[in-house]
Amino acid sequence: MIRIGNHLPSSKGYLAMAKHATKLGANTFAFFTRNPRGGAAKPIREKDVADFLEYIQAHDIDRLVAHAPYTMNLCSAKPDIRQFGFQMLQDDMQRMEYTPGHYYNFHPGSHIGQGVEVGIAQIADALNQILTPQQHTIVLLETMAGKGSEVGSSFSELRAILDRVTCSEKMGVCLDTCHIWDAGYDIVQNLDGVLTEFDNIIGLNRLYAVHLNDSMNPCGSHKDRHQKLGQGHIGLDALTRVVNHPALKHLPFILETPNDDTGYAAEIALMQKLSDTL
Ligand code: FE
Ligand code: FE
Ligand code: ZN
């Protein structure tokens, strides 16, 4: 069995998400910590979290990959938007402590003309002000497609952020297959080579999760349009090699494909069938 699930709606609370995951055959899942467009988060209900923690233990659901809102941009050129992102990250770190030991993934940000160096410095600066050695959440930088002025579409940019964060043991990377393909990493022809490059530049020990998506566009397109597994330019053979790769097969795989529940359940079952892990 591999660990696989999809991104679930969080509006009905934690326990409802875990039950939804079980219904789809998932043993992990992703969720937005608040409205993906940002803004105030719902207060956490202690009873809901307690029931949730008991449920996921009983049902072997683990290594959840929470996702920050898309509006969080720690390296915006506008100070008020940077501040808004800073407050969301700070609040989310506190919320994540209710469910200790899981992951929190975010898009590093878009530098909006400030230049990648300034962007990297601003992202690391925010993380250095918020992360603490006491926290129980690993914060993951997502590999990006390189749309517009996105920071983090190359392994070396992610490494540059990681190098500047003091609490480095609380930081890692989430690899999105659609994004790295769109960024120009050819995981169809050369998965081993891409992972070796990742290992040389970042270190595979810093990789905690995979977003498993096909792509609507060719390698290097910098588009970021996800496709259902096997219906895009990456294809099912390459995605099967991803979930079975010795460097990856132990990681949680999160589907962010354009699907409804029936489609997600089918993709989860399909990838379990195509995985040769015990
Ligand atoms: Fe993402
Ligand atoms: Fe993703
Ligand atoms: Zn994406």
Question: pLDDT for 57-67, tens place per residue?
Answer: 999 999 999 99
Q: How far is the CA of 108 from the centre of ligand 2 (A)?
A: 12
Tracing tokens 């219906």 back to the chain, one arrives at 231
The Cα 101–Cα 63 span in angstroms is 7
Share of the chain above pLDDT 70, in %: 99
* In the predicted structure, residue 278 carries a pLDDT above the cut 60: no
- Residue 37's pLDDT is 80
Collect all residues with Cβ–Cβ distance below 8 Å to 213 and sequence separation of at least 6: 176, 177, 178, 179, 226, 227, 229, 232, 234, 255, 256, 257
Judged by its nearest atom, the ligand closest to the C-alpha of residue 209 is 2
Residue 144 binned pLDDT confidence (cut-offs 50, 70, 90): very high
- Residue 193: CB atoms within 10 A of its CB come to 12
Q: How far is the CA of 53 from the centre of ligand 3 (A)?
A: 29
Q: How far is the CA of 211 from the centre of ligand 1 (A)?
A: 8
Residue 34 binned pLDDT confidence (cut-offs 50, 70, 90): confident
Q: How far is the CA of 94 from the centre of ligand 3 (A)?
A: 26
Q: How far is the CA of 67 from the centre of ligand 1 (A)?
A: 7
Judged by its nearest atom, the ligand closest to the C-alpha of residue 70 is 1
Q: How far is the CA of 145 from the centre of ligand 1 (A)?
A: 10
* Residue 117, token pair as written in the block: 């160096």
Per-chain mean pLDDT for the chain: 97
* Residue 271, token pair as written in the block: 């990838």
CB within 5 A of ion ligand 3: which residues?
224
CA 39 to chain CA centroid, Å, is 20
Tracing tokens 């992972």 back to the chain, one arrives at 195
- Residue 36's pLDDT is 77
Burial zone of 224 (CB within 10 Å; 0-12 exposed, 13-18 middle, 19+ buried) = buried
Q: How far is the CA of 47 from the centre of ligand 3 (A)?
A: 33
Q: How far is the CA of 112 from the centre of ligand 3 (A)?
A: 18
0.85 cut: is pTM over it?
Answer: yes
Tracing tokens 């070796």 back to the chain, one arrives at 196
CB within 5 A of ion ligand 2: which residues?
176, 211, 256
- Residue 130's pLDDT is 98
Residue 277 binned pLDDT confidence (cut-offs 50, 70, 90): low
Q: How far is the CA of 142 from the centre of ligand 2 (A)?
A: 7
* In the predicted structure, residue 152 carries a pLDDT above the cut 70: yes
* HEC readout, the chain: CCEEEEEECCCCCHHHHHHHHHHCCCCCCEEECCCCCCCCCCCCCHHHHHHHHHHHHHCCCCCCEEECCCCCCCCCCCHHHHHHHHHHHHHHHHHHCCCCCCEEEECCEECCCCCHHHHHHHHHHHHHHHCCCCCCCEEEEECCCCCCCEECCCHHHHHHHHHHCCCHHHEEEEEEHHHHHHHCCCCCCCHHHHHHHHHHHCCHHHEEEEEECEECCCCCCCCCCEECCCCCCCCHHHHHHHHHCCCCCCCEEEECCCCCHHHHHHHHHHHHHHCCCC
